Structure 1
Amino acid sequence: MSSPDLSGRLYVVTGASRGIGWNAAVALGAAGAHVVAIARTVGALEELDDAIRAKGGSATLVPLDLKDLDAIDRLGLSIYERWGKLDGLLGNAGQLGLITPLGHLDPKDWDNVFTVNVTANWRLIRSLDPLLQRSDAGRALFLTSSVAESCRPFWGAYSASKAALEALVRTYAAEVATTRVRANLLDPGRMRTQMRAKAAPGEDAATVPHPSAVAPDIVRMLAPDFADNGTRFAFPTGTVTRFLD
């Protein structure tokens, strides 16, 4: 898969300090984009910056905890003041929470999962949509999971949060259908990430795809010539589900 030319374009990537977010940020930078990389860990962001620069790209590092919802509003203002527009958003950051029966979940754990997986993404849409509208091809892509539909036992908080995220993004896609903005979902499936290791502690990591495997599809779906809107792409199967047709 050849990478599109993203020279002169600006992308926000959340959860950029490791895993899928890291690899997507590097791939976007290698394609010529300037990456606004968001994560909680400063040291990991600095290592990401080195990796992006090694590929000829550039980045702005934003240490930010997405549970600080007001900071997301400040992010939008800062991007507007510096660049005046935004070409793409990758809503990658997610929180697994505890794998436990619903009745055993602490309310604080439930709230943390929904804050990161749902509310923060809504706040990102709220803050950044005006900037995406100022682009000639604003693109928003959010990572989901098969558990949004399978509703696996003991995965209640994560499963419900991803189902809510899908409803959120599908609604946003319908709202921007007559604009130049496009909003879509991507299910990466099993990936060799810290979240996966936590979810499946006995799994042989060598049998799970590396996060770099999905990066080309992320770049493809964030590129200006990707015209689909309101779709859900399942990376493991290559299946595309269209919600707005």
Structure 2
Amino acid sequence: MTDRPLAEKIALVTGATRGIGAATAVALAKAGAHVVCVGRSEGGLQEVDDNIRAVGGSATLVPLNLKDSDGIDRLGGALYERYGRLDIYVANAGVLGPLSPLGHVFPKDWEDTVAVNLTANWRCVRSFDPLLKLSPAGRAVVVTSGAASKARAYWGPYAITKAGLEVMARTWADESVSGNLKVNLFNPGPIRTLMRAKAFPGEDPSSLPAPEDAAEAILPLCLPTFMESGKLYDFPQKKLLRFQMPA
């Protein structure tokens, strides 16, 4: 791999203000991409921009709450007007939601979790799919979780929305099989993030991989030379897995 294999590429990362999203934005910029950083916190975006500049990269900062569906549509239009395409999309934004028995989850908390983890990602697909297909080598990486394949008590809203997200990504990949767009899932596993600390407050964060480690594993999935699609890269196992499809 050359030092800047993504030179002249346009990348977009959601949830880019911290954790895996921020680290991925910096990794993509270091590899040469111009990164559109999407996040809710202007302060967090400015910090990421500083880190991108420190590695010689460039970024466009987009303060946006992904529950703003019209804002996602406007962003898609703005990207088309400015660049005419999108080369890389990393769907990283997500919320933990309430850790509670299903019958005790408040309707607003359920709706907020679905809105961010599922509906917002569909709106992003709707807005960015045409742009990715205008790229000679569009690459989409959807960040999932091991919780999607488990039915663990008290994790209902998060696990259910991540399971839906996985099916959405698999469907998108199957719909894109005949073109240049490749869609894959990435499971980071336990990573040293604020979300992980919220879910497991007694855990020693120093025992976990850093977000930068996950970002380095996401980067190869974004390269024009990566030709797999409809797969899941499991970071804890360091393996690219084929979806288990029913007969």
For Structure 1 versus Structure 2, the TM-score category normalised by the shorter chain is over 0.9
1:141 partner SS:
strand
Question: Structure 1 counterpart of 2:22, which letter?
Answer: W
8 Å Cα contact 1:3-1:219 kept in structure 2:
no
1:186 match? 186
8 Å Cα contact 1:4-1:223 kept in structure 2:
no
Q: TM-score, normalised by structure 2?
A: 0.97
Cα 1:236/1:26, change in 2 over 3 Å: same
The gaps in structure 2 that reach 5 residues or longer are none
1:198 match? 198
For 1:170 and 1:19, the matched residues in 2 are separated by 25
8 Å Cα contact 1:9-1:32 kept in structure 2:
yes
1:95 correspondence with 2:91: no
For 1:113 and 1:2, the matched residues in 2 are separated by 40
8 Å Cα contact 2:4-2:30 kept in structure 1:
no
Number of residues of Structure 1 aligned to a counterpart in Structure 2:
245
Identity %: 51
1:12 partner SS:
strand
8 Å Cα contact 2:90-2:142 kept in structure 1:
yes
> Residues 48-87 of structure 1: matches in 2 within 5 Å?
48-87=48-87
1:237 to partner: Cα distance? 0.6
8 Å Cα contact 1:86-1:135 kept in structure 2:
yes
Q: TM-score, normalised by structure 1?
A: 0.97
For 2:66 and 2:151, the matched residues in 1 are separated by 25
- Per-residue CA deviation, residues 159-203 of structure 1 (Å, 9 max, x unaligned), is 000000000000000000000000010000000001000000010
- Per-residue CA deviation, residues 182-231 of structure 1 (Å, 9 max, x unaligned), is 00100000000010000000101111111111111111101111101000
For 1:9 and 1:42, the matched residues in 2 are separated by 24
2:121 match? 121
> Residues 147-162 of structure 1: matches in 2 within 5 Å?
147-162=147-162
For 1:165 and 1:129, the matched residues in 2 are separated by 16
1:228 match? 228
8 Å Cα contact 1:27-1:215 kept in structure 2:
yes
2:22 match? 22
1:238 to partner: Cα distance? 1.6
Question: Structure 2 counterpart of 1:34, which letter?
Answer: H
1:132 partner SS:
helix
For 1:152 and 1:76, the matched residues in 2 are separated by 36
1:203 partner SS:
coil
1:165 correspondence with 2:189: no
Cα 1:3/1:197, change in 2 over 3 Å: farther
8 Å Cα contact 1:229-1:244 kept in structure 2:
no
For 2:94 and 2:2, the matched residues in 1 are separated by 28
1:243 to partner: Cα distance? 3.0
1:190 partner SS:
coil
8 Å Cα contact 1:231-1:243 kept in structure 2:
yes
For 1:42 and 1:181, the matched residues in 2 are separated by 31
1:216 match? 216
For 1:56 and 1:165, the matched residues in 2 are separated by 34
8 Å Cα contact 2:145-2:188 kept in structure 1:
yes
2:45 match? 45
Aligned structure 1 segments of 4 or more residues deviating by more than 2 angstroms: 1-4
2:192 partner SS:
coil
Q: Over aligned residues, Cα RMSD in angstroms?
A: 1.3
1:177 correspondence with 2:180: no
The gaps in structure 1 that reach 5 residues or longer are none
For 1:15 and 1:130, the matched residues in 2 are separated by 21
